[in-house]
Amino acid sequence: MKNTQINEPLFRSFGKSIGSHVILEKRELAPQIKQIKIHAPEIAVKAKAGQFIVLRTNSEGERIPLTLVSWDKTEGSITLIVQEAGVSTRKLGALQTGDQIPNLIGPLGNPSDIKFYGFVAVVCGGVGAAPALPIAKALKEAGNTVISVLGARNRGLLILEENLRNVSDELHISTDDGSKGQKGHVSDVLKSLIEKKYDFQVVYAVGPPIMMKTTAEVTRPYGIKTIVSLNPIMVDGVGMCGACRVTIGGQTKFACVDGPEFDAHQTDFDELIKRLNVYPSEEKQALDFHHHGGGSFACCNPK
């Protein structure tokens, strides 16, 4: 596995005239999970926890929404984490330090509702740790006691462990196979903490939809306010296309402009999961095409 650290001479050579949206640093955090730092001063000055960007790796490429993991106003940079799942995210993951992202807009979406709640849990499933980190950090800065739960399928897939530990009062780890921390899901850890009388006022849950759904069912009987960051398919990211529609409390909302954070107990997760699985054959076809050296692959409109 190749770890690409920041290329200092290259970075210095950009000097004050550093190109817009140039990749400043790239690291592999786990198999198929890359962390990318991009020069984007106009986004770094405005970014807030919970917001996202949309980028394209070329002018005909698919638009990829990614939540902001961190940002540095002084350096003028933003950091994103991408899980290489389909053709577009693989193309993004293949870019190197010094490459330019031709198309990038943000910050988009509403910031997290950060305030003093008291005792807060931040529950992160797998790559969900990436959007959860700035939320945990902001909650800590707002004076909350932050108890974080980080889980992955196995120890090699745990990401941002130290970063989360640094912004949490306690960090609890779980792996599905028991290779690190408690064996089981993050929702099992949360349940055992609640049973041990951790008196959470709010639970934030970010990760795969099934994990957020299960977490919502853990907190529902206790009446603990639970907030999830939803990840439906997005196209424009600015409320025009309707691709990201979700049902919250029986009402249609657009995750990009009304969210991405919503009340977990009001969220129709079954619909979200169904809509995320609308294109398996098109995605497989695009991946096969990509593996055989194809260029861009045109997909149909969202259903």
| Residues at the contact surface with ligand FES, assessed by CB under 6 A | 234-237, 239-244, 254, 256
Q: Is 21 in the site for ligand NAD (CB under 6 A)?
A: no
The answer to whether 111 touches 50, Cβ cutoff 8 Å, is yes
Strands 145-152 and 170-175, how do they pair?
parallel
CA nearest neighbour of 290 among 96, 95, 90, 99: 90
Please tell me what DSSP assigns to residue 296: -
CB of 177 to ligand NAD, least distance (A): 9
CA distance linking residue 296 with residue 88, whole number of Å: 9
Region of 42-50, 119-127, 194-202, 247-255 interacting with ligand NAD (CB under 6 A): 119-127
DSSP per position, 9-32? HHHHHHGGGPPTTBEEEEEEEETT
Q: Is 237 in the site for ligand NAD (CB under 6 A)?
A: no
Query: Edge-to-edge strands of the sheet including 52-56?
Result: 64-67, 52-56, 103-108
**Interface pattern 199-228 for ligand NAD (x via CB under 6 A):** -------xxx-xx--x--------------
Size of the site for ligand NAD (CB under 6 A): 23
222 three-state secondary structure: helix
Burial class (CB in 10 A: 0-12, 13-18, 19+), 53: buried
According to CB under 6 A, which one of 51, 144, 148, 174 is a site residue for ligand NAD?
Answer: 174
CB of 154 to ligand FES, least distance (A): 33
Which residues make Cβ contacts (< 8 Å) with residue 240, sequence separation at least 6?
none
Q: Is 93 in the site for ligand NAD (CB under 6 A)?
A: no
Binds 109: which of ligand NAD, ligand FES, none (CB < 5-8 Å by kind): none
**Interface pattern 241-280 for ligand NAD (x via CB under 6 A):** ----------------------------------------
CA distance linking residue 191 with residue 198, whole number of Å: 10
Binds 208: which of ligand NAD, ligand FES, none (CB < 5-8 Å by kind): ligand NAD
Strand stretches in 109-238, DSSP E: 119-125, 145-152, 170-175, 182-183, 202-206, 225-229
Q: Is 127 in the site for ligand NAD (CB under 6 A)?
A: yes
Strands 245-248 and 251-254, how do they pair?
antiparallel
Q: Is 50 in the site for ligand NAD (CB under 6 A)?
A: no
Closer Cβ to ligand FES, 178 or 239, answer by number? 239
CB of 255 to ligand FES, least distance (A): 6
Binds 210: which of ligand FES, ligand NAD, none (CB < 5-8 Å by kind): ligand NAD
Strands 170-175 and 182-183, how do they pair?
parallel
Closer Cβ to ligand NAD, 22 or 164, answer by number? 164
Residues binding ligand NAD (CB under 6 A): 67, 125-128, 130-131, 151-153, 174, 176, 185-187, 206-208, 210-211, 214, 229, 231
